[in-house]
Chain A
Amino acid sequence: MSFEVRPGQFFGIIGANGAGKTTLLNLITGYAPPSSGTIEFEGEPIHGLPPYRIAHRGIGRTFQITQPFAEMSVRDNVMTGALFSRNGARRSLKEARAMSEEPLRLVGLTDQADVPAGALTLGGKKKLELARVLATEPKLILLDEVMGGLTWGEIEDLMSTLRRIHAAGATIVMIEHVVHVIVDLCDHVFVLNFGRELFRGTPQDVITHPEVIEAYLGKPIAAGADA
């Protein structure tokens, strides 16, 4: 499997359960070093680097199973992102605090900034994951099912947030089960099946491609076969 994400792309990755989407993100972010092959970012190899060094290169990531720092307040969670990222070492706590305002506002958590992160709902925790990543000022954002567990209203809100982030210059790679989100947001879609590439193309190509439909829904039932 080989693919490339260009700066400024909004790149979607879909695939059935167990297709290897999260594994792919783990490989890129250093949580699972690849046994073979190469991964490059901005022309430099990054495979085998530990996660914190990947983060310092400007790659941010959210986790499918949210990983909030439960005892810290929502704001402190986001501040942590601002403090330890690429340019974080030079930032004072005051600057980090000021920097946390914008991500909190973007995801709509400003009102809950002083609540312990563990007290948030699942949807809130997903938003916090995103806010925390945004505070690291990433060049490339990897989103692992940020929409999972959100209500339709929240999904609409988050989609417009992601559009704004993308418009501001970020490159986004998004894993998502909610297909209409991918179709609406992404300009390129990559379909994984059992760890291999099944298809790639524009969202319109993908949702009309027979093999993709088959992987997601199974073979169409022949008319009258089971009545």
Chain B
Amino acid sequence: MNMRYVSVSLWVAGLLLALLTPVFGSPTMVDITFRTCSLVVLAVSWNLMASAGLISLGHSAFFGLGGYAAILATNSAGTPFWLSLLGSLVAGAILGLGLALITGKMRGIYFAITTLAVSEGLRVIAVMLPDLTGGAKGAYLAPDNFPGAFTVNMAMGIAAVGTCLIAWAISRSRYHFAFRAMRANEGASQMLGIYPLKYRAAITAISGSVASLAGAVEVWHGGYIDPALAFDLHITITSQIAPILGGIYTLSGPVLGAVATTLIGDATRIGLGHIEGASLLVFGLILVGCVLYLPQGIRGGIAQFLDRRSKRSASTPMPADAGQR
């Protein structure tokens, strides 16, 4: 049982869960799957930027913008469900492009702080424009166009699968080389002919558009949006906890992390919800433990476990690049 085998079966299982749960699942399962898929989209999106050396501290900016784009398009112009999602994708891509252009050569903490500022800025704008956004009171989705809960749940499943496919396609393309080179050393990468801004703009646009999509589907799911909900710091934090917990810079890591984060969060909430603060405390402790004992995330932990087992049974050496995917 090698990594490839485990990896393929997990991907297939994930794909089936994402797309079949809305059809066959119980309401609880549908709910958990919906939230997991939403986090998968955000986590993969965050990880895409991180893979190019761009640490985002403001993923809720894309999430919230997508939510507002969808609700405004639908309430003001009667835009149907699928078209509103497309609008959110475009809005997120534009914000991503803008972010790449504003930040220019900023790296590391400077880039991170800018993303945080963008997210806070958008939240303030949403509060300050009550005529457009409903202000702090928020806005309700006009129910005329509601396509039904099943369609919305299905859309999140498709979004999660689609986001993973995009990440997979990137990992098999020349972009994978440019992003890793830029992450390691943007200066030296230029001497090999890489124009960093081009690849930055590409990845922030892609990452931003899918994160916006998650926000848009969430709005259709909840039917309500307000600035605090849309640009919630919690979104920003979970979008980076999931990939770090699962395995940063990898394909499967953000997905594993999203599943784990959702399940651990639910388990502590249900198990310890009656004691004030205990669920968050335990959730936090589990995360700290994971970071301490699984420095390469869940994905790295699985790889290590399988590696040890295969060494014990038959000492066949693993190819050196088995840890890449």
Contact, CB under 8 Å: B177 / A52: no
A176 within 8 Å of B (CB atoms)? no
Q: Interface digits, A109-127 against B, CB 8 Å rule (1 contact, 0 not)? A: 0000011100000000000
How many angstroms between the C-alpha atoms of A63 and B184 in the bound complex? 15
Known contacts: A67-B185, A71-B184, A76-B177. The answer to whether A81 contacts B192 by CB under 8 A is yes
CB under 8 Å from chain B, chain A span 41-82: 50-56, 60-61, 63, 67-73, 76-77, 79-81
Q: Which residues of B contact A61 (CB under 8 A)?
A: 191
Closest to A57 in B: B193
Annotate A133-161 by CB proximity to B: 1 below 8 A, 0 otherwise.
10010000000000000000000000000
Q: Are B320 and A51 in contact (CB under 8 A)?
A: no
Count how many pairs of residues, one from A and one from B, have CB atoms less than 8 Å apart in the complex. 84
Counting chain B CB atoms within 10 Å of each CB, which of A67, A79, A80 scores highest?
A80
Identity of the chain A residue whose Cβ is nearest the Cβ of B173 in the assembled complex? A93
Residues of B within 8 A of A93 (CB): 172-174
- Residues in A with CB closer than 8 Å to B180 are 69, 71-72, 76
Determine if B262 is an interface residue (Cβ-Cβ < 8 Å).
Answer: no
Q: How far is the CB of B188 from chain A (nearest CB, A)?
A: 4
**Min distance, Cβ B136 to any Cβ of chain A, angstroms:** 45
A114 adjacent to B184 (CB under 8 Å)? no
Least CB distance from A74 to B in Å reads 10
**Interface residue B27 (Cβ < 8 Å from any Cβ of A):** no
**A171 → B minimal CB distance (Å):** 17
**How far is B169's CA from A130's CA once the two chains are assembled, in angstroms?**
30
Q: A69-B185, A70-B184, A73-B321 are in contact. Are A29 and B191 (CB under 8 A)?
A: yes
* Shortest CB distance A202–B (Å): 30
Instruction: Bits for B166-209, please: 1 = Cβ < 8 Å to A, else 0.
Output: 00000011100110110111011111111110000000000000
Residue B319, interface by CB 8 Å: yes
Residue numbers in B under 8 Å from A114 (CB-CB): 319-321
The answer for the CA separation of A131 and B319 in the assembled complex, in Å, is 23
Contact assessment for B181 and A80 in the assembled complex, using a CB-CB cutoff below 8 Å: yes
Q: Quote the shortest CB–CB distance from B317 to chain A (angstroms).
A: 11
Quick check: B177 and A86 within 8 Å, CB to CB?
no
In angstroms, Cα B193 to Cα A88, docked, is: 9
Q: Which of B184, B189, B192, B320 has the most CB atoms of chain A within a 10 A radius of its CB? A: B192
Contacts of A70 in B (CB 8 A): 184
B interface residues, tally (CB under 8 Å): 24
Contact A56–B191 (Cβ < 8 Å):
no
Cα–Cα, bound, A96→B177 (Å): 11
Closest-CB distance, A133 to chain B (whole angstroms): 8
Query: A55–B189 Cα gap in the complex (Å)?
Result: 10
Q: Which residue of A lies closest to B182 (CB)?
A: A69
CA distance A31 to B188 in the complex (A): 10
Chain A residues whose C-beta falls within 8 Å of the C-beta of B188 in the assembled complex: 63, 67, 69
Contact A69 B195 (CB under 8 A): no
Contact of B177 among A67, A68, A80 (CB under 8 A): A80
CA distance A83 to B193 in the complex (A): 9
Chain B's closest residue to A73 (CB) is B321
* A84 contacts partner chain B, Cβ-Cβ < 8 Å: yes
**CB-defined contacts of B178 to chain A, threshold 8 Å:** 80, 83-84
Contact A85 B193 (CB under 8 A): yes
Closest chain A residue, CB of each to CB of B178:
A84
CB atoms of A85 and B173 under 8 A apart:
no
Whether, in the assembled complex, A21 has its beta carbon less than 8 Å from a beta carbon of chain B, the answer is no
- Which B residues are in CB contact (< 8 Å) with A188? none
A72 in contact with B192 (CB, 8 Å): no
Chain A residue nearest to B194 (CB atoms) is A84
**Closest Cβ–Cβ distance, residue A112 to chain B (whole Å):** 10
Contacting B192 at CB < 8 Å: which of A115, A116, A132?
A: A132
User: Known contacts being A69-B181, A114-B320, is A84 close to B193, with CB within 8 Å?
Assistant: yes
| A30 contacts across to B, CB distance below 8 A | 190
Contact B193 A136 (CB under 8 A): yes
| Complex contact B184–A69 (CB within 8 A) | yes
Q: List residues of A whose CB falls within 8 A of some B CB.
A: 29-31, 50-56, 60-61, 63, 67-73, 76-77, 79-81, 83-86, 88, 93, 96, 114-116, 132-133, 136
Shortest Cβ-Cβ A-B pairs, 6 listed? A67-B188, A69-B184, A51-B190, A84-B193, A114-B320, A55-B193
Chain A to chain B contacts (Cβ below 8 Å), 18 pairs = A30-B190, A50-B195, A52-B190, A52-B191, A69-B185, A70-B184, A73-B320, A73-B321, A76-B177, A77-B181, A79-B177, A80-B194, A83-B174, A86-B193, A93-B174, A114-B321, A116-B320, A136-B192
13 extra interface residue pairs, beta carbon distance < 8 Å, beyond A80-B189, A81-B193, A84-B194 = A29-B191, A30-B190, A51-B187, A55-B190, A55-B192, A69-B185, A71-B184, A72-B184, A73-B320, A79-B177, A80-B177, A80-B194, A114-B321
